[in-house]
Structures are given as structure tokens and as C-alpha cells.
Amino acid sequence: MREFKKLTPYREALRLVLDDLKEITDVEEVSLDDALGRVLAENIVSPIDSPPFDRSAVDGYALRAEDTFQAREYRPVELKVIDEIVAGDESEARVGPGTAVKLMTGSKMPEGANAVLMQEMAEREGDVIRVLRPVAPGQNVAFAGEDVKRGEVLLRKGHVLRPQDLALLKSVGFRSVRVKRKPLVGIIVTGDELIEEFDEDAIRAGKILESNSVMLRGLVRQYFGEPVFYGVVPDDEERIRNAIETAKGECDIVLVTGGSAFGDKDFAHRFVKLLFHGTTIKPGRPIGYGERVFVMSGYPAAVFTQFHLYVKHALAKLVGARDYEVRVRARLAEKVPSQLGRHEFIKVRYEDGVARPIRKKGSGIISALVESNGYIEIPEDSEGYLEGETVEVSLY
């Protein structure tokens, strides 16, 4: 049996992948409702000022600040309320000396007024208010363009759209937005040992229920992609070759699980000109990449690791996504030793500022993935971390 001649360092392998892939240029125009979670294809520039006019930031009375400069609690200033407006309406009144206009948060400032007195600060009797303290010019006024200026970049290319972003876009007049096409991700699962349906006898005889495909479809959807499943292919040279060729022709990238090592039945890597094969990551060392094809491990936990360390970043590169990871600082609950020369992926449970390593080992151990909600990475040149050390956790 052959072994990997050379283990490519993780960072170098990742760079080879990212340098090889090109950002998708296809753009789709989608309604704002369909844009949640999609990646902006271009900078969004505001076509208008927001607010489009000076407006009140509180419920209260629009007035001339200078009229209130002499106001004291023991010597209130009295102003006459000449009009009352509500949001969306507009007062025709002009605020002159000694007068005020009642308005609400969001109301357009009436002509002549330059400040707003908060309702709670005014004593009202009939159509007169008594002002007890001076109001500064501009106080409680939201000036035109204060939220957003016409021509200002609201959101940048590569931004992943959230509900509040959609609100901002809608509030300045957009009804649709241009986003990147979702990359098509071909998924091919290989292995004679795999079965699709529960069969107790088969399982006792050593067969394994295939679980990579459902996991990868979910992960691909989480990270901007559209999965295309090409089924479970037995360890047959010709059939694997055909599946890879078909998927390469139809998809932006292809994920093949199984066949990444050097067993007699590991065919997948023979049909792809790999830029590297075998890396320093653990678990998940046997991975190769070339010609837009990832040849991955067959073991679910290793596939999960390889997805997060390579494929996730590849998908982000394809759509140009920024800020697609949630990384948090945490105190390590116990020490995590690591072997020099390995880039380790350590599953952790993050809670209340503390990261607890999930100790279960073995690349087939799915329950450890389930217990964890994130991972830490330990690069090749580190012997690990001490208990209590601050580490960076990538949440998933």
C-alpha cells in the first residue's frame, strides 16, 4: 500500500484551492424577499437621503430654540401651539416667534422651527405650552441624510444579506437586488460498503449507512451553494470516472467522498489532476484537490472537518462572500495538546465564554460533531494550548 509522499501544509493547500477557483460572475436579480442569505453582487448606493427631510426624533413640540433661551423653572416661557401634525402629514404652519407645532417622531419639521421640545418636558394647558428649560438649536431633530446620504455606499459587494439589510434597501426605494448566482456543488459519494436503507443483516455484515450526502447537502446550503447529488457510486473505476466527468461538466465545484486514500479501491484521485493530495490536517488528512474537484475522505467526521477547512472557504471565494464566519474568543476549559506538524481541527462546545473540547476520537465519530457547536484550529507549528488559554472558536 502506498502512502502520501508529502503532506502539504494546510495553509498552503488552502491557498492552492483559493488561487485555482475564480469568483462567479453570474448575477441574479431577486426580489428583496428572496434575497435573505444571498450575497450582494455589487455595492449598493443610496439613491436618496434618509431621512429625506429634517424630521423630529421624538414626540413633542417644534419651536425656535432662541425663544427658549430665557426659560427657567421659576420663569417658564409660554408658546402658542398653532398646529398639530402626525407622522406622514405635513404642517402648512410657519413657526414664528412665540409659537410651536405639536408633532410626532418622524414628522417633517415645520418651516421656521429648528428644535423639538420633548413632550414630557412641556406643560400644556389648552393651546399653550410652558417651557421650563432652554432647548438647544437642533435638539431632537433628525436632519436630512443623517441616517443615509444620497450616493453613500449602504452595503458592499460580498455582504451576506440579513433582515435589517433588506429593510434598509426597501427604505431607500429598492424592491429587488442583484446577488451572485448560487454555485452548483456536485456531490458524489463512493463506497461499496455503503447502504441507503436500514438493513440489520447488512449492517451486521459490515455495511454502513451512508450519511455524507445529507450532511454535505446541508452544509452546502448553509454556505451559499446549491447541492446537486449524483448518488452513491460503487467502487467501480468506470462508474466513478463517469460520475466525476458528468458533475464537472454541470457544476462549479465537485465533492467526492471516499477514495481519497491509497487503497486498492480508492479510484477517485486517479481521474483528477490534483494540485495536492494529503495534507497536514487532522482529522481529515486524506484530501486532494484539482480541476474544481475535492477528493475527500469517506468518514463523516473527516468530511465535516474537510468541509469547514476547505470547501466553506472555496464557496465563499466563488461568491465573493465576506464575513461568513462567526469567530468568538473563549477560555479553554482544559489543555489540548497537539502534535507538531499537524494542523488540528478540535471540536468544542462553546458556552458562556468557555470552550470545552469534545474528546471523542476517530474519524467516524459523528456524535462528537453533534455535541460540539464549533471548532478551534491548532496550526502545525504549535504544540497545542494550555488550560485557561484564550482561543478563537469558529462557531457552526
Considering only residues 8 through 67, tell me which ones interact with its own copies, judged by CB under 8 A.
32-33, 36, 47-48, 50-53, 57, 59
Ramachandran angles phi, psi of 329, nearest 5°: -85, 140
**Amino acid identity at 190:** T
Question: In angstroms, rounded to a whole number, what is the distance separating the alpha carbons of residues 333 and 354?
Answer: 6
Asked if residue 288 lies in contact with residue 306, where contact means CB atoms within 8 angstroms, the answer is: no
Q: Does 388 bind its own copies (CB under 8 A)?
A: no
Q: Is 86 left (phi over 0), alpha (psi -120 to 50) or beta?
A: beta
Q: How far is the CB of 123 from its own copies (least distance, A)?
A: 13
Up-side HSE of residue 296: CA atoms within 13 Å toward CB? Answer: 31
Give the footprint of its own copies on residues 118-177 (CB under 8 A): 119-120, 142, 146-148, 154-155, 162-168, 170-173, 175
Q: How far is the CB of 22 from its own copies (least distance, A)?
A: 26
Ramachandran angles phi, psi of 356, nearest 5°: -110, 120
Q: Is 369 left (phi over 0), alpha (psi -120 to 50) or beta?
A: alpha
The residue from 218, 231, 337, 388 that contacts its own copies (CB under 8 A) is 218
Q: How far is the CB of 25 from its own copies (least distance, A)?
A: 26
Give the footprint of its own copies on residues 297-336 (CB under 8 A): 298-300, 304, 323, 326-330
Q: How far is the CB of 16 from its own copies (least distance, A)?
A: 25
Strand partners, 101: 62, 83
Q: How far is the CB of 45 from its own copies (least distance, A)?
A: 13
Q: Does 365 bind its own copies (CB under 8 A)?
A: yes
Q: What angle do CA 189, 280, 284 make, to 5 degrees?
A: 25
Q: Per-residue x/- marks for its own copies, 331-360, CB under 8 A?
A: ---------------------xx------x
How many residues lie near its own copies (CB under 8 A)?
Answer: 98
Cell 469567530 belongs to which residue? Answer: 327
Question: In angstroms, rounded to a whole number, what is the distance separating the alpha carbons of residues 33 and 40?
Answer: 14
Question: In angstroms, rounded to a whole number, what is the distance separating the alpha carbons of residues 188 and 255?
Answer: 6
Q: Does 113 bind its own copies (CB under 8 A)?
A: no
Q: How far is the CB of 33 from its own copies (least distance, A)?
A: 6
- Applying CB under 8 A, the span of 245-253, 256-264, 269-277, 335-343 interacting with its own copies comes to 256-264
Q: Does 382 bind its own copies (CB under 8 A)?
A: no
Q: Does 104 bind its own copies (CB under 8 A)?
A: yes
Ramachandran angles phi, psi of 14, nearest 5°: -60, -40
Asked if residue 200 lies in contact with residue 46, where contact means CB atoms within 8 angstroms, the answer is: no
Q: How far is the CB of 349 from its own copies (least distance, A)?
A: 11
Q: Per-residue x/- marks for its own copies, 177-216, CB under 8 A?
A: --------------xxxx--xx-x--xxxxxxxxxx-xxx
* Closer to its own copies by Cβ: residue 19 or 326: 326
Question: In angstroms, rounded to a whole number, what is the distance separating the alpha carbons of residues 17 and 209?
Answer: 30
Q: How far is the CB of 289 from its own copies (least distance, A)?
A: 21
